[in-house]
């Protein structure tokens, strides 16, 4: 112990504290340099060009490649096609010493440090074009000291392997220009509607100005900012001798015409499913769109390629869909999922030309489901309270509640039977029996059931028996809710992505799919027996497909404009023993001249039948172990002695 104390005292005498700090700093620097050299030597930068063409791959539920997310990143052009003024503009504004340094610019670093100190904040960066290329193409987007060391040394290695022209070419082909556009060729088409080789100096200098902050300087969203930034680029080009002051002044006053000929940025198949995958990867896995479109992930999904292709084939036939009152195309969306797992097998977000991550009526819409909510909000909780499918329900014109504004619903067509059995009320989609029954069991029972089915309810009232709920529902939510009927009362959370594997291994989500025991198998069997009747002889009759049992419920919402008879929304939510799906047909914005003249029985219902007919070879023929109620009591459970009793009755 005395020896240790003596050594410490000796060190203290020989080294002032400042020297010790310097020594420790040197150790850290050396360690960083060593790590940098390790990363530099272990990186295979010679495959950089090939690596730039890698896409994020989407796999189906069987692990087969189904699609890719590339965002046009592979639409690269050679440096010979890129105008010299485009090359000069990007060098002048982003890295004026590009042709002099060897990957990192020590003068630029000191200049940036001095500028930032004088300004009291970070106003200037020091990354070279080569370092930015490294960040775009080889490294993850994390901001850590380790990553900065990797960036620095990989840039040096890249400069050893590639010529300056090759580095500049790769940089321009991988840079992000805003509005989901990567690469100079795609940027040229997105903003100016032309090939990169046709760019003018006015256009090139504007594109070069975007790279620093695409969301702030792109001319589609911020033309004034883009013009101001272009002046900065032109001044830099003058400063470094690329153009004269007169050229800069003339170009600064030149107007540019915006034109978008970029088309759909997704290059792979199944764009609707890819959109849903991107949205879920962002919301549930915490990734960004840039990550997904540039980092080369492997995403394993629940997609069934045959089912997705079948959906797209049906939606490609416009004759399947009703027209609006003014003869225009109606809008529509569909979701098909596996009720046993919750995995979405296929999806169509909307009709018409695909828009990259455009609004999806399948997942983002919030609308009234009409009568398709009755099995969830009314009949399931009624069965749980002891009602039977054959029990008689009131069906006569009436009002509910007291006061100045009682609730007075009506049946479609204005006809009433006085009373009718529950199963028949469902088949006919009669409104009064549903509202009367919810009033009998209590609105709170309906709210509780809806929450178990996974639906939000902010307004507990009798009108929710007919779909009047806030904030509304999407086809995906309705398909998930109905999955409990085909899965013995268990609802599985719907999902698109099974797992994501990135450059550093599997991405772990904070979200994990859950299952909820909504109700019992006994209740779902009774519901299925009634919903089979809806398709066999009720409002869903046109959804029938030979060889497969389909149970389901229709729903329509009326045009909320006085004096107009028509529908705004049409629904059919149906299921087989191994598939559940929801389809919606409607209009984006209802008006006096934009609505549907038919109801769901003529629109959404036959559409569902067309879909099942198309994908039947891939889902297989299947039957439920219950039968539709046909006016008698439910089928009696069979016992071993039934045959003997039957013979005894025949003989005696």
To the nearest 10°, report the CA torsion of 245, 249, 254, 260: 60
Predicted pLDDT of residue 36: 45
* Weakest mean pLDDT among 39-53, 68-82, 242-256: 39-53
d(CA 32, CA 615): 58
pLDDT at residue 642 tops 70: no
CA dihedral angle for residue 220, residue 270, residue 554, residue 438, rounded to 10 degrees: -70
pLDDT at 408: 92
The answer on pLDDT for 604 being more than 50 is yes
Q: Residue 340 and residue 223: Cα distance in Å, rounded? A: 51
Is the domain 370-467 a CATH 3.40.50.10800 member? Answer: no
Report whether 400 contacts 434 (CB < 8 A). Answer: no
Residue 65: name the closest of 269, 280, 344, 264 by CA. Answer: 269
| Higher per-residue pLDDT: 371 or 5 | 371
- pLDDT on residue 413: 86
Check residue 545 and report its DSSP letter: B
Predicted local confidence at residue 20, as pLDDT:
47
**Lowest-confidence region among 80-89, 168-177, 204-213:** 168-177
Q: Return the H-helix or E-strand segment holding 58.
A: strand 56-59
User: Looking at per-residue confidence, does 650 or 372 come out higher?
Assistant: 372
- Residue 416 pLDDT > 50: yes
Tell me the β-bridge partners of 554.
Answer: 572
Mean pLDDT value of segment 209-238: 94
For the record, the structure tokens of 297 come out as 């992930």
- pLDDT of residue 411 exceeding 80, the answer is yes
| DSSP-derived 3-state class of residue 319 | helix
pLDDT digits (tens, 9 = 90+) for 115-153: 545 555 444 445 888 888 887 765 444 444 455 566 677
Q: What are phi and psi of 534, to 5 degrees?
A: -60, -40
**Quick check: bond before 108 cis, omega within 30?**
no
Question: Exposed, middle or buried, 345 (CB in 10 Å: 0-12/13-18/19+)?
Answer: buried
- Percent of the chain predicted with pLDDT > 70: 80
Residue bearing the bigger pLDDT, 62 or 124: 62
What residue segments make up the domains of the chain, in order of their start?
A: 2-42, 72-252, 302-367+473-652, 370-467
- 243 by DSSP, 3-state: which? coil
Position with higher pLDDT, 156 vs 66: 66
Between 37 and 495, residue with greater pLDDT: 495
Q: Residue 554: name the closest of 578, 526, 583 by CA.
A: 583
Distance, in Å, from the CA atom of 502 to the CA atom of 506, rounded to the nearest integer, reads 6
Do the domains spanning 302-367+473-652 and 370-467 agree at the CATH topology level?
Answer: yes
* Geometric angle at alpha carbon 144, from 142 and 148, rounded to 5°: 95
Could you give the residue numbers annotated as active site?
A: 94, 371
CA distance 186 to 293: 14
User: What is the residue-averaged pLDDT of the chain?
Assistant: 85
Instruction: Please tell me the distance from the alpha carbon of residue 36 to that of residue 503, in angstroms, as a whole number.
Output: 19
Among residues 588, 581, 111, the alpha carbon closest in space to that of 328 is found at: 588
Tens digits of residue pLDDT in 463-477: 999 999 999 999 999
Q: Indicate the CATH number for domain 72-252.
A: 1.10.3810.10
Residues 6+ apart with CB under 8 A from 249: none
Q: 14 pLDDT exceeds 80?
A: no
Angstrom distance (rounded) from CA 249 to CA 429: 72
The whole-number pLDDT of residue 53 equals 54
CATH of 302-367+473-652 among 3.40.710.10, 2.60.40.10, 3.60.10.10, 3.90.1150.10 = 3.40.710.10
> What is the model's pLDDT at position 52?
60
- Can you give the three-state secondary structure of 441-488, one letter per residue? HCHHHHHHHHHHCCCCCCCCCHHHHHCCCCCCECHHHHHHHHCCCCCC
How confident is residue 1, by pLDDT bands cut at 50, 70 and 90? Answer: low
């Amino acid at each position: 112990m005395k020896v240790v104390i003596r050594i410490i005292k000796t060190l203290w005498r020989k080294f002032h504290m400042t020297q010790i700090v310097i020594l420790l700093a040197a150790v850290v620097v050396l360690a960083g340099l060593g790590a940098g050299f390790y990363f530099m030597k272990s990186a295979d930068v010679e495959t950089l060009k090939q690596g730039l063409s890698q896409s994020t791959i989407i796999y189906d539920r069987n692990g087969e490649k189904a699609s890719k997310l590339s965002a046009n990143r592979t639409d690269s052009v050679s440096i010979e096609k890129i105008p010299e003024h485009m090359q000069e503009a990007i060098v002048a504004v982003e890295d004026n010493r590009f042709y002099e340094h060897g990957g990192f610019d020590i003068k630029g670093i000191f200049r940036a440090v001095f500028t930032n100190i004088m300004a009291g904040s970070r106003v200037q960066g020091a990354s070279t074009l080569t370092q930015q290329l490294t960040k775009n193409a080889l490294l993850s987007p994390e901001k850590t000291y380790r990553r900065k060391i990797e960036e620095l040394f990989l840039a040096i290695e890249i400069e050893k392997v590639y010529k300056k022209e090759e580095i500049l070419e790769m940089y321009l082909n991988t840079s992000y220009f805003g509005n989901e556009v990567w690469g100079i060729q795609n940027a040229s088409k997105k903003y100016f509607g032309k090939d990169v080789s046709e760019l003018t100096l006015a256009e090139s200098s504007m594109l070069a100005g975007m790279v620093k902050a695409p969301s702030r300087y792109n001319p589609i969203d911020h033309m004034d900012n883009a013009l101001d930034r272009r002046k900065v680029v032109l001044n830099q080009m003058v400063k470094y001798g690329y153009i004269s002051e007169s050229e800069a002044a003339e170009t600064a006053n030149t107007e540019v015409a915006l034109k978008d000929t970029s088309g759909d940025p997704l290059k792979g198949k199944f764009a609707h499913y890819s959109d849903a995958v991107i949205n879920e990867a962002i919301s549930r896995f915490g990734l960004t769109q840039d990550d997904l479109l540039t980092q080369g992930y492997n995403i394993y999904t629940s997609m069934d390629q045959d089912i997705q292709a079948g959906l797209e084939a049906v939606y490609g036939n416009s004759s399947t869909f009703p027209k609006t009152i003014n003869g225009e195309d109606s809008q529509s969306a569909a979701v098909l999922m596996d009720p046993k797992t919750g995995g979405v097998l296929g999806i169509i977000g909307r009709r018409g030309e695909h828009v990259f991550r455009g609004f999806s009526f399948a997942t983002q819409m919030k609308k009234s489901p009409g009568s398709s909510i009755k099995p969830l909000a009314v009949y399931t909780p009624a069965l749980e309270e002891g009602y039977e499918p054959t029990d008689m329900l009131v069906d006569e014109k009436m009002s509910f509640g007291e006061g100045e504004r009682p609730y007075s619903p009506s049946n479609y067509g204005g006809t009433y039977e006085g009373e009718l059995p529950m199963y028949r009320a469902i088949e006919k989609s009669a409104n009064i029996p549903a509202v009367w029954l919810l009033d009998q069991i209590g609105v709170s029972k309906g709210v509780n059931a809806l929450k178990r089915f996974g639906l939000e309810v902010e307004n507990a009232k009798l009108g929710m028996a007919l779909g009047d709920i806030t904030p509304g529902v999407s086809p995906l939510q309705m398909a998930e809710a109905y999955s409990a009927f085909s899965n013995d009362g268990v609802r599985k959370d719907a999902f698109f992505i099974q797992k994501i594997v990135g450059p550093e291994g599997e991405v772990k989500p904070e979200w994990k799919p859950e299952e909820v025991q909504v109700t019992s198998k006994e209740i779902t069997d009774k519901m299925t027996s009634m919903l089979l009747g809806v398709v066999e002889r009720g409002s869903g009759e046109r959804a029938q497909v030979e060889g497969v049992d389909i149970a389901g419920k229709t729903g329509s919402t009326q045009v909320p404009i006085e004096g107009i008879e028509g529908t705004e929304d049409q629904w059919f939510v149906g299921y087989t023993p191994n598939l559940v799906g929801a389809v919606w047909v409607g209009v984006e914005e209802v008006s006096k001249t934009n609505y549907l003249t038919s109801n769901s029985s003529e629109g959404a219902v036959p559409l569902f039948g067309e879909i099942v007919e198309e994908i039947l070879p891939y889902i297989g023929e299947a039957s439920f172990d219950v039968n539709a109620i046909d006016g008698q009591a439910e089928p009696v459970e069979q016992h071993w002695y039934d045959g003997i009793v039957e013979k005894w009755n025949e003989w005696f």
